[in-house]
Structures are given as C-alpha cells and as structure tokens.
Amino acid sequence: MLIHAAPAVGRAIDLPKPYLLFVGDARSAGFAKTAFGLKDWAAESCVGECASSPEAVSTGLPRMSPREAQARGAKSIVIGVAAVGGAIALGWLPVLIEALEAGLDIVSGMHSRLEDVPALEAAVERTGRQFFDVRRPPPDIPVASGRRRSGKRLLTVGTDCALGKKYTALSLSRAFAARRIDVQFRATGQTGIMIAGGGIPIDAVIGDFAAGAAEILSPDADDAHWDIIEGQGSLFHPAYAGVSLALLHGSQPDVIVLCHEPARTHVIGYPDYALPTVEAAIGLNLTLGARTNSAIRCAGVSVNTSGMAESEAAAVIGELERTLRLPVADPIRGGEPLQRLVDACLDRPASPSGREAR
C-alpha cells in the first residue's frame, strides 16, 4: 500500500451520447434488458434502435440504420443485447462494423472484449473510432484522500446484492429532478454507467483504489447539488463487503437510503448467511460511514415488494415504518410513500448529531 495519498488525477468513464441502441437478434425483451433499461431510464439519450435481424424485438424507439442514426446526432452504438456466455455473436458484426464506418463508437458491457474480435479491431483501426467497455475501470484512479468534498451526496445501500439499489437511486434521481433540484445519478455498475452516460464499475477496481474511485466519481459540487450514487453489494456480504465499505467511505454520503427485500431471508447464493435486520444494516452503515462524514444520516428505506399484492405490500411498508419510525417506500409502486422518502432525504438533520436512525 502507498502511505501517502496521491493527487486525484483519474476521471470517471464518459460515454459518447446520444446512443443508437443495438438489439441484435434478440427475440424477447429478456435478451435485450440493457436496451430496454436505456429506453426506460435514458430515453432522452437514445436516437433510435437498430437490429441484426428483422425479427428482433423492439424497444419501441424508431428503427434505423447506423448511418441514419449518425445523421440524427448519435455518437455511439450501445450493445443492448445479451448472448449466451456473454460473447459477441458473429451475426452482429456486419451492423457493428457498419456503425464504426458511419462514425459511431461502440459501447459494450459484455464479458467478451470487443478488441478480441479481429474483424472489429480492424474496423476500429481503419475508422479511427473507439471502443468503450463499461466493465473496465478508467486508468489513473488515485488512492482516496479522505478530504471532504462540497455538495451533497446520497448513497443507496442494501441488506444484500440485487434487490434494487440501482433502481432506487434512479427513482430518487428522477423524483429530485421533478422537484427542480440539481441532481446527478452517479453509476457504479455497468447498466447504470450506460444509463448515466458515465461512471466507474467500482467492483472491478483494484482494492487499494476503490475508495479513491468513489471519490472521483462524485467530485466537488455546488452546495445545493445532489449526487445520488448507486450502491453495490452489502456490508454483510461474505464476498463483496469490502467493495461496499470502500464505496461508503469514498462516497462520504450525507444521506443513505437502505434497500431491502422483505421476502428474502438469506444472502442470495449464500444459504448459510442470514440477511441482517434492517435496523442492523442501517446501524452498521451509519457507524462505518461516519468515519468519512460524521453528519451521515439514514433518510429511510426502499423496499422491493415485487411479487406481493398491493395490500400485502402496504402492510409490509406500514409495519416497517412503525418499527423504524422512518419513511419506507417501494419506488416501483411510487406514490405518496416515495414522496415522503424524498422529503426525508432533503430534510436537514433534525438534531446537531445529524443521525435520525440511531
């Protein structure tokens, strides 16, 4: 380890927008989740879609060739389709090469690397375009400095992986923006990075630099500006807690929102690891987060009630609110509970200690 903090020199990934969404030969939305996610959350950054097969599923955006998209302002084509094993399908190559020749860069979050496909690599060299791999961290990430930054920050944290931290951060960002608050969604995973048009895949960063990555992801900002940062993993996860702690320390959040799935009893994929209680998860995040921001507080809880009937979800939410005395909302259901959660995020701390949930 380096003992002295290096100056912050690195920068987050910055993708060329707007996008042309590539749905490949996907026969259903399930195989083109990324394209559908972008259409849902970043429609203003998408000029249209294109496919490698006329029978491919449609996101509902206008279908066009790469050249048409370029004429309408597109800067890159995003691979929004998944193939078996995370590989790049041969049938996609003609469209991808056509896109490079039309002047578009290629954005990918696939497991396979674009530069390992000789035909694509040759086309990139011929056209002078670029590949953007949202799985790969940017270079020159510094060691964290621990310095407090200006502006306000919210981090979504969780009792586990894969229960709605990205969705919650996006929903809160949209709700903040609807109130005309200066807000930016800060992405830490590949889908989020495509939606945001930038970010850092925090779990792919070398351990010594992970907190530093979180620092450069949400730089100094105006006092009234909010960064809403996509959380990753959980402090209770036997494999990923280190990433979650680095993200918590480097993000220096003023506010956390805990994400939870009431129906889940164990860490996903780890049957020997019971999920922590909501109270324990809030407490540990506040205890550890206070190391880099002593004013950290928990605004409330985002619950994932998918699969529950409306009445069951309402009962779960009501029960949690009574126990925790904090706002609880399912952002997918939205409505008044979500607005109360947003109110709590924006409230100044009620007491000088700044911790509502302790």
Q: Which is nearer to a copy of itself, 41 or 236 (CB)?
A: 236
The token pair that represents 80 in the structure block: 């929004």
Residue from 208, 220, 312, 347 in contact with a copy of itself (CB under 8 A) = 208
Give Dmax over CA atoms of the chain in angstroms: 63
Q: Is 163 in the site for a copy of itself (CB under 8 A)?
A: no
**How far are the Cα atoms of 6, 8, 213, 229, 260 from residue 219, in angstroms, in the given order?**
16, 10, 10, 12, 28
List, edge to edge, every strand of the sheet that includes 255-260.
183-186, 226-229, 152-158, 255-260, 297-303, 328-329
Residue 272 in the binding site for a copy of itself (CB under 8 A): yes
Report the residue number, 49 or 160, with the smaller CB distance to a copy of itself. Answer: 160
Binding residues for a copy of itself, rule CB under 8 A, total 48
Does residue 233 touch a copy of itself according to CB under 8 A? yes
Closer to a copy of itself at the Cβ: 294 or 312?
A: 294
DSSP label at residue 208: G
Least distance from a copy of itself to the Cβ atom of residue 204, Å: 6
Contact call for residues 347 and 297 (beta carbons, < 8 A): no
* Residue corresponding to tokens 């998860």: 281
In 57-160, which ranges are continuous DSSP H helix? 66-71, 93-101, 118-127
Q: Which stretch binds a copy of itself (CB under 8 A): 69-77, 102-110, 200-208, 336-344?
A: 200-208
Query: Taking a C-beta distance cutoff of 8 angstroms, is the pair 199, 229 a contact?
Result: no
Closest approach of a copy of itself to the CB of residue 174, in Å: 24
Q: Which CB atom, from 183 or from 247, has the smaller least distance to a copy of itself?
A: 247
Residues 76, 251, 292, 302: which binds a copy of itself (CB under 8 A)? 292
Asked if 219 is part of the footprint of a copy of itself (rule: CB under 8 A), the reply reads no
Q: How far is the CB of 290 from a copy of itself (least distance, A)?
A: 11
Interaction of residue 241 with a copy of itself, rule CB under 8 A: yes
- What amino acid occupies position 17? K
| Candidate ranges 63-71, 88-96, 261-269, 349-357; the one touching a copy of itself (CB under 8 A) | 261-269
User: What DSSP designation does 60 have?
Assistant: S
Q: Among 12, 114, 161, 303, which residue sits at the site for a copy of itself (rule: CB under 8 A)?
A: 161
Question: Could you tell me the two tokens for 9?
Answer: 């020199």
Decide: helix, strand or coil at residue 99: helix
| Residues whose CB is less than 8 angstroms from the CB of residue 94 and which lie 6 or more positions away in sequence, other chains included | 52
Among the listed ranges 16-24, 253-261, 268-276, 301-309, the one in contact with a copy of itself (CB under 8 A) is 268-276
144 binds a copy of itself (CB under 8 A): yes
Among 288, 314, 316, 332, binds a copy of itself (CB under 8 A): 288
Q: Report the nearest approach of a copy of itself to the CB of residue 135 (Å).
A: 11
Contact set for a copy of itself, span 114-143 (CB under 8 A): 143
**CA nearest neighbour of 226 among 191, 257, 255:** 255
Cα–Cα distance for residue pair 266/289, rounded to 1 Å: 24
| Distance separating alpha carbons of residues 82 and 61, to the nearest angstrom | 19
191 binds a copy of itself (CB under 8 A): no
CB of 126: closest distance to a copy of itself in angstroms?
A: 29
Please identify, using beta-carbon distances, which residue of 143 and 320 lies nearer to a copy of itself: 143
116 DSSP 8-state letter = G
Angle between helices 278-289 and 310-324 (to 10 degrees): 50
* Binding stretches for a copy of itself (CB under 8 A): 1, 3-5, 143-147, 161-162, 189, 202-208, 210-212, 232-233, 235-236, 238-247, 249, 267-270, 272-273, 284, 287-288, 291-292
